[in-house]
Amino acid sequence: MSTPNKTKAPTISRRQSREAEKNQPKKSILREWVETIVFAVTFVVIFRNLLFGFFVVPTPSMEGEVMAGEYIISSNLHYGPRLPMTLGIPLVNIPIKSVTFPYYRLPGFSSIKRGDVVIFNLPPEENVVDYKTPYLKRLIGMPGDSLKIENKQVFINGKKLNQPLNMQQKWTINYQDGNKTTLDDNMTWNEAQKMIQDGYITSVTPALYEKDVAMPSIMFPKGNNWNPHQFGPVWIPKAGATITLTEQNWLMFYRAITTYEGHQLKYLGNNTFEIDGVKTNRYTFSMNYYWMMGDNRDDSEDSRFWGFVPENHIVGKAIFILFSWDIAKARPRFDHFFRIIRNEL
pLDDT (0 to 100) of residue 21: 55
> What pTM was computed for the model?
0.86
106 in Cβ contact with 97 (< 8 Å): no
- SS3 for 49-108, per residue? HHHEEEEECCCCCCCCCCCCCEEEEEECCCCCCECCCEEEECCCCEEEEEEECCCCECCC
HSE-up (13 A, CA, CB side) for residue 49: 21
Q: Which domains does the chain have, with CATH numbers?
A: 48-144+290-340 (2.10.109.10), 171-206 (no CATH)
Rounded alpha-carbon distances, angstroms, from residue 113 to 30, 133, 304, 317, 323: 49, 22, 19, 10, 26
Longest dimension (CA), the chain: 126
Q: Which residues are bridge partners to 71 per DSSP?
A: 56, 323
Q: How high is the pLDDT of residue 33? A: 74
3-state secondary structure string across 267-331: EEECCEEEECCEECCEEECCCCEEEEECCEHHHCCCHHHHCCEEHHHEEEEEEEEEEEEECCCCE
Give the residue among 178, 180, 173 at the shortest CA–CA distance from 197: 173
C-alpha to C-alpha distance for 42 and 48, rounded to whole angstroms: 10
Helix (H) or strand (E) holding 21: helix 14-23
C-alpha 87/C-alpha 48 separation (Å) is 15
Q: What is the rounded distance in angstroms from the CA atom of residue 121 to the CA atom of residue 131?
A: 8
pLDDT in tens, the chain (345 residues): 455 555 555 555 555 555 555 555 666 777 777 667 665 666 566 666 678 888 999 999 999 899 999 999 999 999 999 998 998 876 667 888 889 999 999 999 999 999 999 999 999 999 999 999 999 999 999 999 999 999 999 999 999 999 998 999 999 999 988 899 998 889 999 999 888 876 788 899 999 999 999 999 999 999 999 999 999 999 999 999 999 999 999 999 999 999 999 999 999 999 999 999 999 999 999 999 999 999 999 999 999 999 999 999 999 999 999 999 998 899 999 999 999 999 998
List phi, psi (to 5°) of 97: -65, -15
